[in-house]
Each structure stands twice: as structure tokens, then as C-alpha cells.
Amino acid sequence: MIPYMARTRRYYQTLGYPPYEWAHFDDVPFAVPARRVNASNLVLITTAAPHRAELGDQGPGAAYNAGAKFFQVYSAAVDPAPDLRISHLGYDRLHTTAEDSNTWLPLSALKAAVVEGTLGWLAERLIGVPTNRSQRVTMEQDAPAALDLCRELDAHMALLVPS
């Protein structure tokens, strides 16, 4: 077992930060859908980054690549599927290779759900949200920008696929 929470607290305390306050919400910003899923427009929200070759190795098995991080919410067309990668994220590289992009970009499964009639339709664009470890920036900047894009896309519901 890895005592992740305790290690994280100690790490930030040694850097001089006050004890970390984990994100929490008194009012949960979720609601029961107003429509059935098979009559809804779903937008996919991901934390994966657009591939930029000039930023070094970002492919399957790549080492952590902080240079590939992005810092603003973006939108990208779902057809054709965009080339998104996760080398900028901390994940267990010992036990996974990041070879299957469906784990962070399940467009083929969502499109199949539309064909099967399980999902009404998929928004023509997806939304990318950065993971910059700042609750303030997430709440004051990124979440409102993502919500604005959801509204522009006339989404009835959103599926967040964190990487």
C-alpha cells in the first residue's frame, strides 16, 4: 500500500505550503438528467492533451512529459478523432503503457452507443480540461469555460473521462 494522501501532504508542507485542503463541495453541481440518455446530446470532456510533436515523446510508454501540459480549456472536433495523448499526466507507467487511447478518448464506444440507440447523439466537438492542480483555477476559470462550451454545443449531459 502506498500512503498517497500522507505523502502528498508531507511533500507540499516541505515546500512551505499550508496543509492541503482536499477539494470538496457543499452543493454538488450535478442533477438528474431532464431527458433520457437515448434522447440526449452528450459532450465528452477529457483531460488528455492535443499531440504536439515539437514537445517530445508523448506516445505509448512515454516518460512523464510536463512540457506537453496544456493550461486552457480547448475544444476539438470528434470527426475525425483528434490525436490526444496523456504523457503530461502522472499515471502508473509500471503497470500500463497508454497504448489504448479508448481509455481516455472513448469516441468509438460513444459512437456505437448512438448507432445502437442507447445514446441520442454525440456533440460534434469534445472539451479538453487541464489538470493543473489548482482548485482555484479549476473553479474560477476552467469549469466555467467548460460549462460555456457545453452550452454552446447544446449538450444535455457531459461525460468526464479523466486520465
Strand 41-46, strand 125-128: pairing:
parallel
- The pLDDT-based confidence of 25 (bands split at 50, 70, 90) is confident
Residues 158 and 34: their CA atoms lie apart, in Å, by: 13
Q: Are 134 and 72 in contact (CB under 8 A)?
A: no
Task: Give, for 60, the enclosing helix (H) or strand (E).
Answer: none
Q: What is the pLDDT of residues 48-85, one digit of tens each?
A: 999 999 999 999 889 999 999 999 999 999 999 999 99
Q: What is the pLDDT of residues 99-143, one digit of tens each?
A: 899 988 999 999 999 999 999 999 999 999 999 878 889 889 999
CA distance to 90, 143, 163, per residue, from 137 (Å): 19, 8, 19
Specify the pTM: 0.85
Residues 155 and 118: their CA atoms lie apart, in Å, by: 16
Give the model's pLDDT for residue 32: 85
Residues 58 and 49: their CA atoms lie apart, in Å, by: 10
Instruction: Give the position of cell 512540457.
Output: 67
Radius of gyration of the chain (CA): 18
Asked if the model's pLDDT at residue 28 lies above 80, the reply is no
